[in-house]
Amino acid sequence: MDTCKVPTGLVPALHEAGVSLADVLAAAGLPSGLLDMPGQRVSVSDYFAFWNGIRAASGDPSIGLFLATSVKPDLTEPFFLAVLSASDGAAALQIVSAYKRILTPQVLEISSNDRAGEVVVTYDWPEADDDPPQVLIDAELAFIVEMCRRGTRNRHLAPRGVHLRRAALEAGADHAAFFACPLRLRARHDAIVFAAEDVATRFSTHNPQMLDVLLPYLKANTPASTRSAVSRVRSAIAERLRGRRPTLQAVSKQLAMSGRVVQRILSENGTSFRQLLDEVRNQHAQGYLAATAFTDSEVAFLLGFEDPNSFYRAFRAWNGKSPSEFRQRPKTARRMTRGSV
Q: Domains of the chain by range and CATH? A: 3-221 (3.90.1520.10), 226-335 (1.10.10.60)
CA distances in angstroms from 317 to 173, 311, 313, 321, listed in the order given = 61, 10, 6, 8
Whether the pLDDT of residue 267 is over 80: the answer is yes
Q: How confident is the model at residue 59 (pLDDT cuts 50, 70, 90)?
A: very high
How would you classify the pairing of strands 41-43 and 3-5? Answer: antiparallel
Q: Are 26 and 53 in contact (CB under 8 A)?
A: yes
The CA distance from 104 to 2, in Å, is: 8
Q: Are 119 and 93 in contact (CB under 8 A)?
A: yes
The CA distance from 324 to 10, in Å, is: 62
Lowest mean pLDDT among 122-136, 194-208, 293-307, 327-341: 327-341
Tell me the CA end-to-end span of the chain in Å, nearest whole number: 31
Q: What is the pLDDT of residue 273?
A: 94
Whether the pLDDT of residue 337 is over 50: the answer is no
Higher pLDDT, 168 or 72: 168
Higher pLDDT, 9 or 62: 62
Q: Report the half-sphere exposure of 213 (CA within 13 A, side-chain side).
A: 6
The CA distance from 333 to 330, in Å, is: 5
Whether the pLDDT of residue 311 is over 70: the answer is yes
Q: What is the pLDDT of residue 335?
A: 39
- 59: phi > 0 → left, psi -120 to 50 → alpha, else beta; which? left
Q: What is the pLDDT of residue 338?
A: 33
- Can you tell me the mean pLDDT for 305-319? 93
Whether the pLDDT of residue 1 is over 50: the answer is no
Where are the strands (E) in 1-106, listed by range?
3-5, 41-43
Residue 100 is classified by DSSP as G
The CA distance from 65 to 61, in Å, is: 9
Higher pLDDT, 225 or 123: 123
The most confident of the ranges 166-175, 210-219, 329-338 is 166-175
Higher pLDDT, 107 or 24: 24
Nearest to 303 by CA among 230, 234, 246, 253: 246
Cα–chain center distance at 99: 10
pLDDT for 284-293, tens place per residue? Answer: 888 888 777 8
Higher pLDDT, 28 or 70: 28
Helix crossing, 21-28 with 44-58: angle to 10°?
120
Whether the pLDDT of residue 341 is over 50: the answer is no
Q: Are 46 and 35 in contact (CB under 8 A)?
A: no
Backbone angles phi, psi at 113, to 5 degrees: -115, 95
Which residues lie closer than 8 Å to 44 by C-beta, 6 or more apart?
2, 3, 4, 104, 105, 125, 127, 128, 129
Q: What is the CA radius of gyration of the chain?
A: 25
Whether the pLDDT of residue 191 is over 80: the answer is yes
Q: What is the pLDDT of residue 238?
A: 81
Instruction: Supply the mean pLDDT for the chain.
Output: 87
Q: What is the pLDDT of residue 187?
A: 94
Provide the whole-model pTM: 0.66
Whether the pLDDT of residue 242 is over 80: the answer is no
Q: What is the pLDDT of residue 294?
A: 87
- Can you tell me the mean pLDDT for 87-102? 90
Q: What is the pLDDT of residue 194?
A: 97
The CA distance from 106 to 265, in Å, is: 18
SS3 annotation, 296-317:
HHHHHHHCCCCCHHHHHHHHHH
pLDDT for 15-46, tens place per residue? Answer: 999 999 999 999 999 999 888 876 678 889 99
Q: How confident is the model at residue 309 (pLDDT cuts 50, 70, 90)?
A: very high
- Can you tell me the mean pLDDT for 125-134? 85
Percent of the chain, pLDDT > 90?
52
